[in-house]
Amino acid sequence: MSGEINLLPTVVRERRIEVQRVHIGLIEYGIESGLSVADEKDLGAHDGRAKGPGPFCHPSHFGRNVDEALPCWITQGLGRKSSTLPSIRRQGYSGCNRKKGFRMFYEPHLGHGLPHDPFKAIIAPRPIGWISSLDQQGRPNLAPYSFFNAVHSSPPMLAFTSESMKHSAANAIATGEFVFNLCTRSLFDAMNISSDTLPEGVSEFEAAGLAAAPCRIVKAPRVAAAPAALECKVTHSMQLQDMHGAPLKGWIIIGQVVGVHIDEAYITNGRFDTAKAQPLARCGYRDYAAVTEMFEALRPTDGGGYAPGQKDK
């Protein structure tokens, strides 16, 4: 982030609440406040885009230096040695004590200004697609993908995305097959090991100490210890592109489920017991989650009950 601060305060009236917009480098911060018309004069005169330190827009910060009023991770990012207010400690994002009503907004292509990208932490939890496949020489491969989910129910279909052409995506495209293996809490260590970047042809099954089991329809093996595994035939593979049509490195692979393996130990009263299996999910940063409890609720279209075999409407 540039050390230059661009300030462009704007008062927006909506339901008697005014929102201050302050553009700081590449990031826009909005702070809801109850400014009166008289307070507007305290915003100061701004001819276009005023540059350099100046009064912050929030009423509680009138007359204070911008560096003092900004969230502390911003002053750190600017490389400034700010004067410390009692409510602000220079200990990074988690140490800041911000006003109630603070809202952050950023455009991803301009940057977020945080220590780590929050995108994956917001889109969370995400089921882990533990994908097994064979290369064209018949050598097994196993890797976890956090950009994964079911995309259709009849016929059942699922998809995983590789942000570059890695072994799993390349194998699935070349052979037209892959297997989804349900990763559970007890299998975390093995799954984590299988995420390592190993040379082509080296088996992640062996590296992680996992036994492979044969599938019924596809040639790729499955993880024997997984409570469930879905054999898939590739129906679509596509290189992603951005909104301008520029090609990206990522690829999405969509597969139709042609075979389902379930360990009967996880069937309870005729249902797959998700809480018992404790499937893992990927969150942001280096965080994971495990499903350990469930709750049930009827939908408005259920007609007061949920009968066996009932279809979603």
> Has residue 1 been placed in a domain?
no
Domain boundary among 68, 88, 115: 115
Q: 287 and 139, same structural domain? A: yes
* Residue 138: closest CA among 181, 171, 180: 171
Compute the distance between CA of residue 64 and CA of residue 60 in angstroms, rounded to an integer: 9
In this predicted model, what pLDDT tens digit does every residue of 6-53 receive, in sequence order?
433 333 333 333 344 444 444 444 433 443 333 333 333 333 333 333
Q: 74 is in which domain, residue-wise?
A: 6-115
Taking residue 168's Cβ as centre, other Cβ atoms within 10 Å add up to 25
Compute the distance between CA of residue 114 and CA of residue 104 in angstroms, rounded to an integer: 11
Q: 241 and 286, same structural domain? A: yes
> Has residue 24 been placed in a domain?
yes
Q: 127 and 110, same structural domain? A: no
Q: 156 and 66, same structural domain? A: no
Residue 7: predicted pLDDT: 37
216 pLDDT higher than 80: yes
Domain boundary among 100, 115, 130: 115
Q: 238 and 176, same structural domain? A: yes
- If one compares 34 and 178, the residue with the highest pLDDT of the two is 178
Q: 130 and 94, same structural domain? A: no
Report the chain's C-alpha Rg in angstroms.
26
> Has residue 15 been placed in a domain?
yes
Residue 99: predicted pLDDT: 58
- If one compares 226 and 43, the residue with the highest pLDDT of the two is 226
> Has residue 309 been placed in a domain?
no
Domain boundary among 82, 115, 148: 115
Contact 224, 216 (CB under 8 A): no
Q: 132 and 106, same structural domain? A: no
CATH of the domain at 283: 2.30.110.10
- What domain count does the chain have? 2
> Has residue 311 been placed in a domain?
no
Query: With bands split at pLDDT 50, 70 and 90, how would you rate the model's confidence at 163?
Result: very high
In this predicted model, what pLDDT tens digit does every residue of 228-278 receive, in sequence order?
999 999 999 999 999 999 999 999 999 999 999 999 999 999 999 999 999
Q: 286 and 137, same structural domain? A: yes
